[in-house]
């Protein structure tokens, strides 16, 4: 991968809604189990060991960008990593996700959470960022990320894959004071974590609110939005584009845009043009190909990617991505095809 000034700026320009030579693309979970090189590393190392060892996290981050013409790299880690610093042990179980053996459900547990310090608690993340920037040599930018307070809280309270949010919602409704206290602490952690990532070299940030689609608009407004809003306000001055992502958010896009983000992510359940209308013309949009399309034939991949580009209509501010993370068994050839078709089909004549 050689340095090309047009390519190196494509993603960051699109985040700022500036015109680009073609539409940039990166893929959520682009360094994951669909890659044979990743699976090979996983035979020797657990996922969290990869994330905790700067040399390995760097290697994994670079795997997809060496293979495909992606326009951004994303730090290899997990949204749960900063919670170690708050004194919450967890593990990652294959095909399940993060698991916390002692979920946070009492006032005493919430009050005993420690405050997070990035240099003390996650020096390996900051070192990985420095190494990745070094290896990338300016060829493409590096995205840092964190989980949004609502999504982190739902893992902490449910203990694992928070599908029904039974305990989470019970806490919200029964003890709004305690809920707010937990969310304030998580928000403080996320702000400190993201600021430290930028100081170490992250050139854009994504806030993942993956589970927020379980809230009604009224619940979002009361229990999640003020905290996400505080994060975007605190990072406004950081000088890097901010991406705000959630899934099943068709009823929440306006409120998410209001909470903040230069770019708002949309999943595949909503047509991209409708999502963009709802997010507003003063924001960029990221998305939103259904990850399952990559299991279909190559002509379907081309057609569906072109359909997403058509809905974006060549307007500056579209970052192509899937509507959620790439699935573990996705055929690698279709990923290469997708990246190429997005670049080719969106090519704009130089002005
Ligand atoms: O996007 C990237 O490539 C960067 C790395 C990244 C991972 N997780 C790697 C990972 C990022 C940004 C995440 C964020 C994350 N983690 C989110 C938010 C995004 C989303 O998908 O909604 C969430 C909800 C988690 C929690 C989590 N961690 C889940 C649901 C899983 C998958 C469990 C499984 O096995 O299906 C994980 C583990 C995880 N995080 C893997 C990877 C590559 C797979 C772990 C493995 O190697 O076995």
Q: How do the domains of the chain map onto residue ranges?
A: 5-345
DSSP conformation class of 314: T
Does residue 213 line the site of ligand 1, with CB under 6 A? Answer: no
Is 76's C-beta closer than 6 angstroms to any atom of ligand 1? yes
Name the token pair of 155: 């893992």
CA distance 291 to 74: 18
Q: What is the pTM of this model?
A: 0.97
State the average pLDDT for the chain. Answer: 96
Taking the centre of ligand 1 as the mean of its atom positions, its distance from the CA of residue 351, in whole angstroms, is: 40
pLDDT value for 111 = 96
169-212 per-position pLDDT tens digit: 999 999 999 999 999 999 999 999 999 999 999 999 999 999 99
Mean pLDDT of 140-158: 98
**CATH number of this structure's domain 5-345, picked from the four choices 3.40.50.150, 2.40.30.20, 3.20.20.210, 3.30.450.20:** 3.20.20.210
In the predicted model, what is the mean pLDDT of residues 256-272? 98
Q: Which string of DSSP letters, residue by residue, matches 196-231?
A: HHHHHT-SEEEEEETTGGGS-HHHIIIIIHHHHHHH
Structure confidence at residue 163 (pLDDT): 79
User: Which residue, by CA, sits nearest to atom 32 of ligand 1?
Assistant: 97
Place of tokens 């050839």: 333
CA 150 – CA 87 distance, rounded (Å) = 18
What per-residue confidence (pLDDT) applies to 164?
A: 84
Angle between helices 36-44 and 54-67 (to 10 degrees): 160
DSSP state letter for 25: B
Residue with CA at minimum distance from ligand 1 atom 5: 76
The Cα–Cα gap between 130 and 141 comes to: 12
17, 29, 133, 185: the active-site residue: 29
The per-residue pLDDT for range 23-82, each reduced to its tens digit, is: 999 999 999 999 999 999 999 999 999 999 999 999 999 999 999 999 999 999 999 999
**Ligand 1 midpoint to CA 211 (Å):** 13
The yes-or-no answer on residue 29 being catalytic is yes
Q: What's the average model confidence in pLDDT over 137-162? A: 96
Q: Which pLDDT belongs to residue 351?
A: 54
- Whether 47 is in the pocket of ligand 1, judged by its Cβ within 6 Å, is yes
Nearest-CA residue for ligand 1 atom 8 is 78
Closest ligand 1 atom number to CA of residue 27: 1
Strands 142-147 and 263-265, sheet pairing = unpaired
Of 16, 42, 105, 222, which is the active-site residue? 42
Active site annotation includes 33: yes
Helix boundaries (H) for the chain: 5-15, 36-44, 47-52, 54-67, 107-111, 118-121, 123-136, 149-158, 166-174, 176-200, 217-219, 225-235, 253-259, 272-279, 298-312, 332-345
Cβ-Cβ contacts under 8 Å for 289 (sequence gap 6 or more):
268, 304, 305, 308, 320, 321, 322, 323, 338
Active site residue 111: no
Closest CA to 183 of 147, 159, 213, 210: 147
Question: 223 falls in which pLDDT band (50, 70, 90)?
Answer: very high
- Give residue 162's pLDDT band: very low, low, confident or very high (50, 70, 90): confident
Cα torsion through 149, 151, 152, 155, rounded to 10: 150
Region 134-162: what's the mean pLDDT? 96
Site to substitute for ligand 1 among 47, 50, 78, 128, most atoms within 8 A of C-beta: 78
Q: What is the per-residue pLDDT for 350?
A: 67
Ligand 1 contact, 334 CB (< 6 A): no
Cα separation, 205 vs 235, in Å, equals 9
29: CA distance to ligand 1 center in Å?
A: 7
Give tens-digit pLDDT for 75-129: 999 999 999 999 999 999 998 999 999 999 999 999 999 999 999 999 999 999 9
């Amino acid at each position: 991968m050689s340095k090309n000034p047009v390519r190196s700026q494509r993603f960051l320009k699109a985040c700022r809604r500036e015109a680009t030579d073609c539409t940039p693309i990166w893929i959520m979970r682009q360094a994951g189990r669909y890659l044979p090189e990743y699976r090979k590393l996983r035979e020797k190392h657990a996922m969290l060991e990869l994330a905790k060892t700067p040399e390995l996290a760097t290697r994994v981050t670079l795997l997809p960008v060496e293979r495909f013409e992606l326009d951004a790299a994303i730090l290899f880690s997990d949204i749960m990593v900063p919670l170690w610093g708050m004194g919450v042990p967890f593990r990652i179980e294959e095909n399940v996700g993060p698991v916390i053996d002692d979920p946070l459900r009492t006032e005493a547990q919430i009050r005993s959470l420690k405050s997070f310090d990035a240099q003390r608690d996650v020096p390996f993340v900051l070192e990985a960022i420095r190494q990745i920037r070094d290896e990338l040599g300016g060829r493409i930018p590096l995205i840092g990320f964190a989980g949004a307070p609502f999504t982190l809280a739902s893992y902490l309270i449910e203990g694992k894959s928070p599908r029904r949010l039974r305990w989470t919602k019970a806490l919200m409704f029964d003890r709004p004071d305690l809920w707010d206290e937990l969310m304030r602490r998580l928000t403080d952690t996320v702000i400190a974590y993201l600021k430290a990532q930028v100081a170490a070299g992250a050139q854009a940030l994504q806030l993942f609110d993956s589970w927020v689609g379980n809230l009604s608009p009224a619940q979002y407004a009361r229990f999640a939005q003020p905290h996400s809003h505080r994060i975007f306000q605190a990072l406004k001055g950081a000088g890097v584009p901010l991406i705000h992502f959630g899934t099943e958010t068709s009823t929440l896009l306006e409120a998410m845009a209001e909470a903040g983000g230069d770019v708002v992510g949309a999943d595949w359940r909503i047509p991209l043009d409708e999502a963009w209308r709802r997010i507003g013309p003063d924001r960029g949009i990221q998305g939103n190909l259904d990850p399952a399309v990559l299991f279909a034939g190559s002509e379907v991949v081309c057609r569906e990617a072109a359909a997403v580009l058509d809905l974006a209509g060549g307007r500056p501010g579209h970052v192509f991505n899937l509507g959620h993370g790439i699935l573990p068994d996705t055929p690698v050839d279709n990923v290469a095809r997708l990246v190429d078709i997005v670049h080719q089909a969106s090519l704009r004549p130089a002005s």
